[in-house]
Structure 1
Amino acid sequence: MSTAAATVPIAGRTSASTPGIVIPEGHTLHTENNSHILISSKDEAFLNPVQEFNRDLSVACIRIWSEEINREKEAKWKQGQERRAKRATTDVAEGKEAKKVEVDNASGSSLSVAQAEGHDMEKSSTLQTPEGLTRNIEYRPYKFVLLEALSATGLRSIRYAKEIPLVRFVVANDLSESAIAAMRRNVDLNGLGPSPETGEGKVRVNEGDACALMYNHRTEKSRVDVVDLDPYGTAAPFLDAAVQAVNDGGLLCVTCTDLAVLATTNYFEKCFSNYGGVPVKAEYCHEAALRLVLNTISTSASRYGRYIEPLLALSVDFYVRLFVRVHSGAVEVKKAASNTSMYYICSGCQSFFEQKLGRTIEKVNEKTGARSYQFKTQVGPPVPSECSDCGFPLHVSGPMWAGPLHNPEFVSKVLEHVEGNLDKYGTSARMRGMLTVAKEELHTPFYFTPARVAGFFHCTTPSLEEVASALLNSGSDVSRSHACPGSLKTTASRTDIYDVFRCWVKKHPVKMDKISNTSPAARLLAKEPRTEANFTKHPKSVTQSSKVKLVRYQQNPLPNWGPGSKASGIKRKRNGEDNE
């Protein structure tokens, strides 16, 4: 879409890099990909340039989701056409009176055969009518509706409208009058405002409370396909409304920037009030933050007979970004307890012990193949009050999401899209790095770093490859974690990991004279390894993400970069800020 010049009533200057755009006095032009916005010096709406990675990733993930759901609807449409054709042929053979044949289009309404033939569509199939005539019926690609509840400058909504082909329109909402004024200006600047013919634009600006707007879309007929929540701070107050406003199979995108609450125990009471869980004080706290937010979304959805399917959940810099599909289904809702766990975290060596809240027993009928489920409570606790590895006290954390964080098939498709469109994303190098690691990441909870574990033993640190090879040679699987550099995830238990380090200590002795008898190190070293670790290089110790030099962490794009300060706004009412 061509960029339209903004009409401004005051004097301004023309941008050299973007000819045709007039920049009013007191404004600066911010360009991201092929979208442009004007930022006022009055701090009318919040924009964080560092969040370009968040926006790039969101564009790619929503685009791949839209292509997937379009394929699903096309397959369902073809099945419906085949059933109708078969039914029509049967009716003719039986001499029944022919009935009007209707064709479902991608928007969910019905068209007659004659009407459907008049539409501009991309793919075709055939339909056998009762008269015996073969009519060409074409499938119209599914165009989805996206609601961005907290839009601020509108940059994210503008990028969605311009860069995702299957977007029907975007609802860009904010409660701040000053943000609405900025948004309208930026939407017009990009040529996405109301057209003279229809009076509707591809980005439709709405001024109102985010929760009220989403609650107005909670009925089945008024739901939207994608809801994007990117608030300043926590998204918790908006989740209840969001999980109701999304269509079945729709996408919920969530950002939370309050990692000071989610990833430490300094404000655990605030974490509990926001997310209904207690955080973790350990090196894997950033993964625990993701699981706390996922559990909050899951429990919110369960109240309304819905369940979630995480597609991608990332811990990035100072925030978490999650993409989950929302479905309806009574049986899957009952499985939620089996995907929820409490964790006992050792205060000495950071060992963790999982306590799932429920268990699901699946039975398959041998004759019919039908599946039935029984839902039971779990026995517990899994450990005594002291750590079985070092004897230190355990602290309780959770409840948290215990299921997978990512869908590898979805992540692979997003990665393939990014690698084929490197010039379309300003942060494509980092996207490739994050997505490659996420695609390989094991579904088991929590990671560790050899350096931290070596610190517990007071020994020299083995290389990442040596630890990975020892675990692989013992029959366990390993992967990297996107949430921490130099980290490993494994299917081995924490005790198995410690056995690897005990074997390492035998080859690289520790000076015991400086180790207290009551320290975790003394208790860990006092135990003998149950098996002998083999540190010979394993072929799988070098993963795809470690073969290529991938950008994983932000390289200080701006001085003092980080979450940024909240916009003061003009005539600001309440939470209309976006942490873009």
Structure 2
Amino acid sequence: MASSHSIEVPDGFTLHTENTSHILLSSNEAFLNPVQEFNRDISVACIRTWSDDLNTTKEEKWKRNQEKRLQRGSKKRFKGFHLAVSCVECLIFTGKRRVGEDSELVGGSTEPPETDVAPGGHPRGIEIQYQPYKFTLLEALSATGLRSIRYAKELPHIKYVIANDLSPTAVAAMNRNITINDLVDTTEGVGDPSQPPIIIPGKVRINEGDACSLMYNHREEKNRVDVVDLDPYGTAAPFIDAAVQCVKDEGLLCVTCTDLSVLATTNYPEKCFSNYGGVPVKAEYCHEAASRYFALRLVLHSLSTSAARYGRYITPLLSLSIDFYVRVFVRVATAPLEVKKTLTKTSTIYVCSSCQSFHEQPLGKAVEKKHETTGNSNWSFKTQAGPSVPEKCPECDSVLHVAGPMWSGPLHDPSFIGRMLDHLESNQSNYGTAVRMKGMLTVAKEELPTLFYFTPAKVSSFFHCNTPSLDDVASALLHAGHRISRSHACPGSLKTTATRHDLHDVFRSWVKLHPVKLENISETSPTRRLLAVEPKSIAKFTRHPDSVTASGKVKLVRYQENPTSYWGPGKKSTHNKIDLKRKRKDDEGGSSS
């Protein structure tokens, strides 16, 4: 394996090293943003955990099949072997066969050793053991190839990566980079000089072409890949339809969107609707510097509806708002009933233009009826009655704005994130951003599955009062019987099971202890309407023992710390535009110089 010390760096290039991988960068070639190392690290960890889960499921299924075959009798044939004994612990076989993808021979002899005894009391012969499943991955927009190279080198059960880019310049860069990482095709002699050598494909297989065309070529069930990674500059919307079709059942879809000026603001609602099938509104939990909850839910909505067209559904494993982009990891599978249930995980949201109270309006509901004797469930799906709120905000009588439709189901799978954290704990040295990964994953694992979060500072601004501490608000909510958690998307934020009215009652109680000067507030201000309501009960601000969540009890780096000056999404590389102009000129018979 090449080391950075043994790589010759040509003039005009710089060597960039990230974890185990090295790439040569030229200023006029494919775009790379080093700040997104966290994105690549979290992707490696997520795909690794998904792969381990998939193999655990496959191994359990394989073992059940072996037990069934063994129970059918000692003289039955088993995958080309004659079964010698009927003992699930021994698995003794005679004869020879070629090893399959999901099993392998251990021992190498057809005769059982004289002294070796299996747990079932029989001499151990040839054992059939589960062989981990090797998966394929397609990175549709590879640029320098760094992500694909890292996948090939760091994911133990990967069969190969298809690294694609439309730009000939990017493809040239990828070929150069896989060469210095020793991932190129190799040849193997056959012992006969008259026969051509056998070419063994490398773990990274480069393709030059349109990303959607490539994915559509893999949409037949026999050609599908296990993992698809979309990491474009800007929106992933043009690639989603192809991506949800070319990933296998129980496969993983990884999507990045950096177009937050469209997703998380009200600047371009028409563009957001055309890209994602929904619109955001102006609220703390959608447009402030670190807050992208609307963006996450709009992206998941787009993935869900695209998959549903083909009888498929998504299960979000991890959905993160990171720096200047969102990154989601969803499992894709086929099941008619689950596709129908997506109706109940899609909602329109009414958001107050003043106090940012929100009200959810699901598009449909599911009714389950169980058969009395069999216990089987029959599901029926109904439309929802609406609207769920009056014309004006019930809290402050201000105008309500409509957002969505968007995904209203869970953003994460806490048990999956727990397994990611276990993996990270054992492999911290493999990730350059391990400290931040641990912090963000810990917060995401604890997050309540409620829709949005709030910050005490923002709610205080609605009441024109001093801002209570995070502990004060958290304790008051806990004393009132509500649950709380932090949010990974915004520093100083909380999520809660309390209604917005219950939250406002906490701040009304706070105002009684820290009075507001009403003379400074306009008679027509929504603040006066908020303060005019008496709280149903007086909140207790004494410290609650659970007011700090597990992610707060230890020092964790949960949010982005500026890594360099002028960090951010950076400028889009111009090589694609140049290559496309040259192609058009060639097609028209013009010069490509």
Answer whether TM exceeds 0.5 for this pair: yes
Structure 1 partner of 2:196: none
Whole-Å Cα distance in 1 between the matches of residues 479 and 512 of structure 2? 18
> Does structure 1 residue 425 correspond to structure 2 residue 431?
yes
Structure 1 partner of 2:44: 59
Partner of 2:2, secondary structure, is coil
> Does structure 1 residue 537 correspond to structure 2 residue 543?
yes
Whole-Å Cα distance in 1 between the matches of residues 369 and 357 of structure 2? 34
If asked which structure has higher relative contact order (CA below 8 Å, sep 6+), I would say 1
1:114 to 92, 96, 116: 96
> Does structure 1 residue 379 correspond to structure 2 residue 385?
yes
> Does structure 1 residue 508 correspond to structure 2 residue 514?
yes
The answer to whether the 8 Å contact 2:297/2:406 transfers is yes
Q: Kindly tell me: are residues 444 and 147 of structure 1, through their superposed partners in 2, closer, same or farther at Cα, counting changes over 3 Å? A: same
Shift of 1:102: 5.4
The answer to whether the 8 Å contact 2:315/2:330 transfers is yes
> Does structure 1 residue 141 correspond to structure 2 residue 142?
no
Q: Deviations over 1:349-375 (max 9, x none)?
A: 000000000001122234322222111
Shift of 1:120: 10
Q: Kindly tell me: are residues 458 and 230 of structure 1, through their superposed partners in 2, closer, same or farther at Cα, counting changes over 3 Å? A: same
Structure 1 partner of 2:29: 44
Whole-Å Cα distance in 1 between the matches of residues 186 and 511 of structure 2? 72
Counterpart residue identity of residue 32, structure 1: E
Whole-Å Cα distance in 2 between the matches of residues 46 and 119 of structure 1? 38
TM alignment of 1:147-166, pairs within 5 A: 147-166=138-157
Structure 1 partner of 2:489: 483
Whole-Å Cα distance in 1 between the matches of residues 479 and 104 of structure 2? 53
Whole-Å Cα distance in 2 between the matches of residues 120 and 211 of structure 1? 31
The answer to whether the 8 Å contact 1:124/1:139 transfers is no
Q: Kindly tell me: are residues 282 and 116 of structure 1, through their superposed partners in 2, closer, same or farther at Cα, counting changes over 3 Å? A: same
The answer to whether the 8 Å contact 1:479/1:489 transfers is yes
Shift of 1:69: 0.2
5+ residue gaps, structure 2: 82-93, 113-117, 119-123, 189-198, 287-291, 584-593
Structure 2 partner of 1:109: none
The answer to whether the 8 Å contact 1:117/1:138 transfers is no
Structure 2 partner of 1:474: 480
Structure 1 partner of 2:465: 459
TM alignment of 1:551-562, pairs within 5 A: 551-562=557-568
TM alignment of 1:272-421, pairs within 5 A: 272-285=273-286, 286-421=292-427
Whole-Å Cα distance in 2 between the matches of residues 458 and 144 of structure 1? 56
The answer to whether the 8 Å contact 2:140/2:164 transfers is yes
Structure 2 partner of 1:130: none
Whole-Å Cα distance in 2 between the matches of residues 181 and 115 of structure 1? 43
Q: Kindly tell me: are residues 468 and 102 of structure 1, through their superposed partners in 2, closer, same or farther at Cα, counting changes over 3 Å? A: farther
Whole-Å Cα distance in 2 between the matches of residues 195 and 368 of structure 1? 59
State, as a whole percentage, how many aligned pairs show the same letter: 64
Counterpart residue identity of residue 272, structure 1: F
The answer to whether the 8 Å contact 1:517/1:523 transfers is no
Q: TM-score, normalised by structure 1?
A: 0.90
Whole-Å Cα distance in 2 between the matches of residues 341 and 485 of structure 1? 26
Q: Kindly tell me: are residues 533 and 120 of structure 1, through their superposed partners in 2, closer, same or farther at Cα, counting changes over 3 Å? A: closer
Partner of 1:221, secondary structure, is helix
> Does structure 1 residue 210 correspond to structure 2 residue 216?
no
5+ residue gaps, structure 1: 5-17, 93-97, 104-111, 128-132
Q: Kindly tell me: are residues 509 and 100 of structure 1, through their superposed partners in 2, closer, same or farther at Cα, counting changes over 3 Å? A: closer
2:6 to 20, 25, 32: 20
Structure 1 partner of 2:580: 573
The answer to whether the 8 Å contact 2:442/2:551 transfers is yes
Whole-Å Cα distance in 1 between the matches of residues 78 and 293 of structure 2? 56
Shift of 1:138: 1.7
1:68 to 53, 57, 70: 53
Shift of 1:387: 0.1
Q: Deviations over 1:462-502 (max 9, x none)?
A: 11111111111111110000011000000110000000000
Shift of 1:554: 2.5
Partner of 2:299, secondary structure, is helix
The answer to whether the 8 Å contact 2:105/2:126 transfers is no
Partner of 2:229, secondary structure, is strand
Whole-Å Cα distance in 1 between the matches of residues 347 and 539 of structure 2? 31
Whole-Å Cα distance in 1 between the matches of residues 418 and 438 of structure 2? 10
Q: TM-score, normalised by structure 2?
A: 0.88
Whole-Å Cα distance in 2 between the matches of residues 118 and 504 of structure 1? 68
Whole-Å Cα distance in 2 between the matches of residues 351 and 373 of structure 1? 33
> Does structure 1 residue 33 correspond to structure 2 residue 39?
no
Question: What is the number of equivalent residue pairs in this alignment?
Answer: 542
Q: Deviations over 1:524-579 (max 9, x none)?
A: 001000122111211111111111221123222222111011111175229x9xxx
The answer to whether the 8 Å contact 1:59/1:164 transfers is yes
Partner of 2:574, secondary structure, is coil
Shift of 1:146: 0.4
Q: Kindly tell me: are residues 376 and 118 of structure 1, through their superposed partners in 2, closer, same or farther at Cα, counting changes over 3 Å? A: closer
Structure 2 partner of 1:266: 267
Q: Deviations over 1:322-377 (max 9, x none)?
A: 00000100000000110000000100100000000000112223432222211111
Counterpart residue identity of residue 26, structure 1: G
Whole-Å Cα distance in 2 between the matches of residues 118 and 333 of structure 1? 34
Q: Deviations over 1:29-52 (max 9, x none)?
A: 0000010000012x2101000000
